[in-house]
């Protein structure tokens, strides 16, 4: 999962803004790694929404010319937590409802939406089944951040 950031120079710094995440923006100073700064800001913003019981917005923007853009990946644990939250809310379920479907407590169900939780594969499989979803896990070669230039 990735979100797209608009990137532009502002004096000596680089301004990074996420259209899909209103208010999520940051600056990278001259020698800072723009991709790393962008990912840190994005993940902090998304986690704040999860902790506040809100559903972070889904990524919708795609990298297109002529803007200078950066595709910023989201860590797998955060992506899983957000997808569980989105699906639970699509179903109109509370965390207690998810807990009932999984035969666990509400607190245990809530931990599925915690990006710091260390979830077992078997737990993810049971959660996907309860949420009427398929679980897909794959490994991909590492790729540096992808820029689109004007």
Name the residue among 79, 78, 83 with its Cα closest to residue 98.
83
Band of the pLDDT at 138, cuts 50, 70, 90?
confident
Band of the pLDDT at 141, cuts 50, 70, 90?
confident
In CATH terms, the superfamily for domain 76-130 is lambda repressor-like DNA-binding domains (1.10.260.40)
Mean pLDDT taken over the chain: 91
65 pLDDT above the threshold of 70: no
For the ranges 8-17, 62-71, 107-116, the lowest mean pLDDT is seen at 62-71
11: left (phi over 0), alpha (psi -120 to 50) or beta: left
For the ranges 47-51, 61-65, 82-86, 105-109, the lowest mean pLDDT is seen at 61-65
The string of DSSP letters for 133-146 reads: -----------PPE
Query: Yes or no: is domain 2-74+140-148 CATH 3.40.50.720?
Result: no
**pLDDT value at position 21?**
96
Do the domains spanning 2-74+140-148 and 76-130 agree at the CATH topology level?
no
CB atoms within 10 A of CB 134: 8
**Distance (Å, whole) CA 75 – CA 62:** 18
pTM: 0.86
Handedness of CA 81, 83, 88, 89 (dihedral sign): positive
Show me where the domains of the chain are located: 2-74+140-148, 76-130
**Distance (Å, whole) CA 123 – CA 14:** 41
């Amino acid at each position: 999962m990735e979100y797209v950031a608009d990137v532009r120079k502002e004096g000596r710094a680089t301004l990074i803004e996420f259209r899909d995440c209103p208010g999520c923006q940051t600056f990278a100073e001259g020698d800072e790694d723009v991709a790393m700064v962008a990912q840190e800001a994005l993940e902090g913003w998304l986690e704040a929404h999860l902790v506040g019981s809100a559903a972070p917005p889904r990524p919708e923007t795609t990298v297109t010319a002529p803007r200078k853009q950066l595709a910023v990946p989201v860590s797998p644990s955060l992506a899983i937590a957000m997808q569980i939250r989105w699906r639970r809310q699509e179903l109109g379920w509370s965390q207690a409802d998810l807990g009932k479907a999984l035969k666990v407590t509400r607190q245990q169900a809530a931990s599925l939406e915690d990006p710091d939780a260390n979830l077992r594969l078997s737990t993810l499989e049971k959660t996907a089944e309860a949420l009427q979803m398929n679980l897909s896990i794959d490994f991909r070669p590492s790729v540096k951040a992808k820029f689109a230039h004007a």
